[in-house]
């Protein structure tokens, strides 16, 4: 079976390629490398001993996208390609709407033309907006607090309209919680450009000596130690969730959303202390004021994915820290 992975050179995409190749799927990657390096594809090939067919193409380039569908018999698409920085999306919203939403519309239009109607879409827990009740189940109210979140929310709606117009589609909307960690080989991992916005890459860059100290955004939240609580999920567990979703979309039609999280909430300081314990590295930090837009607690109720996809997150916080550290310490400058 041939799977097209848009954004397959990126963080989650590259880990998903490993899982698919190990199971014998043929993998075609499309990526414009706007936030990734081709080296990640080579590393995936090294890990798996299998080849990837790679197209350096922009999703917005319909003509070249069509060529991919003409040259390959594609059975399903896993759609990771998109911009993902919340802060940047506030500064350049039109770039985000164009890239994420127009890119998805072009992709779906071409898929429909070539009768490929199995799609897995990278959504996000960000569609739950200002979380009021945890754990969060899929039927919780949806909203967005920034342009990035709105692109995910709008795309979910667009895909629902698409399914309603043509019941041959089979679509899984995967709402990721906080992916961290790396493949156990230490060969692939998260490679943010510039200073990281997210917590785990910030911690690993402090530990490796690239950054001076972590700033913990607030210790006055209503949580067990006052710092924000999140559902950190190992990227390999997340990647395996895509394989399970693929199993489902291949044998059914419809559109369904699934939370991919562990169901457990850990605080910022829980993560720092676990990291220090398992790696033996110190992570100096100071407490600063809250980051605007952050919620106190965000963690999943993953029951639906457990039951309907037969998917369970298996790796714990220690695994996430050890694997993130192996990647960072072996590759202090990422893929460069
Ligand atoms: P990433 O930036 O590492 O990967 C995205 C890939 O898409 C990159 O390789 C980039 O070059 C490519 N891309 C972007 N726009 C493109 C375009 N127009 N044409 C072709 N390629 C394009 O990000 P990631 O962390 O792997 O995230 C993958 C997806 O999951 C994204 O859609 C993101 O919004 C979503 N998501 C990520 C997180 C997270 O914490 N990492 C959380 C929730 C949802
Ligand atoms: C953020 C995005 C979310 C996106 C997700 C994954 C915001 C408001 N939300 O989620 O839309 O889907 O990343 O890319 O940006 N923290 C620190 N110091 C730091 C960094 C983070 O204390 O230097 C804290 C935060 O306040 C938060 C926790 O760590 O409590 C996790 O932060 P982060 O990794 O940025 O993820 P989210 O904010 O949950």
Q: Could you write out the DSSP letters of every residue in 1-46?
A: -EEEEETTTSHHHHHHHHHHHHTT-EEEEEE--TT--THHHHHHHH
Q: Please list the pLDDT of the chain residue by residue as tens digits (336 residues).
A: 999 999 999 999 999 999 999 999 999 999 999 999 999 999 999 999 999 999 999 999 999 999 999 999 999 999 999 999 999 999 999 999 999 999 999 999 999 999 999 999 999 999 999 998 999 999 999 999 999 999 999 999 999 999 999 999 999 999 999 999 999 999 999 999 999 999 999 999 999 999 999 999 999 999 999 999 999 999 999 999 999 999 999 999 999 999 999 999 999 999 999 999 999 999 999 999 999 999 999 999 999 999 999 999 999 999 999 999 999 999 999 998
- Of 178, 192, 212, give the one whose Cα is nearest residue 327: 192
Question: Contact 241/232 with Cβ under 8 angstroms?
Answer: no
Overall size of the chain counted in residues? 336
- Ligand 1 centre to CA of 285 (Å) is 29
2-55: pLDDT as tens digits: 999 999 999 999 999 999 999 999 999 999 999 999 999 999 999 999 999 999
Total domain count, the chain? 1
**Residue 170 covered by a domain:** yes
Question: Contact 150/123 with Cβ under 8 angstroms?
Answer: no
Query: Encoding tokens for residue 4?
Result: 């097209």
Ligand 1: residues with CB < 6 A are 7, 9-13, 31-36, 58-60, 80-84, 99, 103, 122, 124, 176, 179
Number of CB atoms found within 10 A of residue 333's CB: 9
From residue 24, give the alpha-carbon distance in Å to each of 27, 50, 77, 186, 264: 9, 9, 16, 22, 32
Q: Is the CB of 126 under 6 A from ligand 2?
A: yes
**Residue 219 covered by a domain:** no
How far is CA 303 from its chain centroid? Answer: 19
Helical (H) or strand (E) element with 121: strand 118-124
**Residue 293 covered by a domain:** no
Mutate to test the pocket of ligand 1, among 35, 52, 95 (most ligand atoms within 8 A of CB): 35
CATH number of 48's domain: 3.40.50.720
Cα(178)–Cα(272) distance, integer angstroms: 15
Using only the alpha carbons of the chain, give its radius of gyration: 19
202-223: pLDDT as tens digits: 999 999 999 999 999 999 999 9
Domain range spanning residue 27? 2-182+232-263+301-314
Question: Contact 51/25 with Cβ under 8 angstroms?
Answer: no
Q: Is 148 annotated in the active site?
A: yes
- Of 188, 174, 143, 162, give the one whose Cα is nearest residue 79: 174
Report angle CA 320, 326, 204 to the nearest 5 degrees: 70
pTM: 0.98
């Amino acid at each position: 079976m041939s799977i097209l992975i848009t954004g397959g050179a990126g963080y989650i995409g590259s880990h998903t390629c490993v899982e698919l190749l190990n199971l014998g799927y043929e993998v075609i990657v499309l990526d414009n490398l706007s936030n990734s390096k081709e080296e990640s594809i080579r590393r995936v090939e090294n890990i798996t001993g299998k080849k990837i067919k790679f197209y350096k193409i922009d999703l917005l380039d319909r003509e070249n996208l069509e060529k991919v569908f003409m040259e390959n018999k594609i059975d399903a698409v896993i759609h990771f390609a998109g911009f993902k920085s919340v802060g940047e999306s506030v500064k350049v919203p039109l770039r985000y709407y164009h890239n994420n939403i127009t890119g998805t519309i072009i992709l779906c239009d071409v898929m429909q033309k070539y009768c490929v109607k199995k799609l897995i879409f990278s959504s996000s827990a960000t569609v739950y907006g200002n979380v009021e009740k945890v754990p969060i189940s899929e039927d919780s109210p949806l909203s967005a607090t920034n342009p990035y979140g709105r692109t995910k929310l709008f795309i979910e709606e667009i895909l629902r309209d698409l399914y309603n117009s043509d019941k041959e589609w089979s679509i899984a909307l995967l709402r990721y919680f906080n992916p961290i960690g790396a493949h156990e080989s230490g060969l692939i991992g998260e490679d943010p450009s510039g200073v990281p916005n997210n917590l785990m890459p910030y911690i690993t860059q402090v530990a490796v000596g690239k950054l001076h100290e972590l700033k913990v955004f607030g210790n006055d939240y209503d949580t067990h130690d006052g710092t924000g609580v999140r559902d950190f999920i190992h990227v390999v567990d997340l990647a395996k969730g895509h394989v399970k979703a693929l199993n489902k979309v291949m044998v059914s039609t419809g559109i369904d959303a699934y939370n991919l999280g562990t169901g457990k909430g850990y605080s910022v300081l829980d993560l720092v202390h676990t990291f220090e314990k398992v790696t033996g590295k110190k992570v100096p930090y100071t407490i600063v004021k809250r980051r605007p837009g952050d919620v106190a607690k965000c963690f999943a109720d993953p029951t639906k994915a457990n039951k309907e996809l037969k998917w369970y997150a298996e790796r714990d916080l220690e695994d996430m820290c050890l694997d993130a550290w192996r990647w960072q310490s072996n590759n202090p400058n990422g893929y460069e």
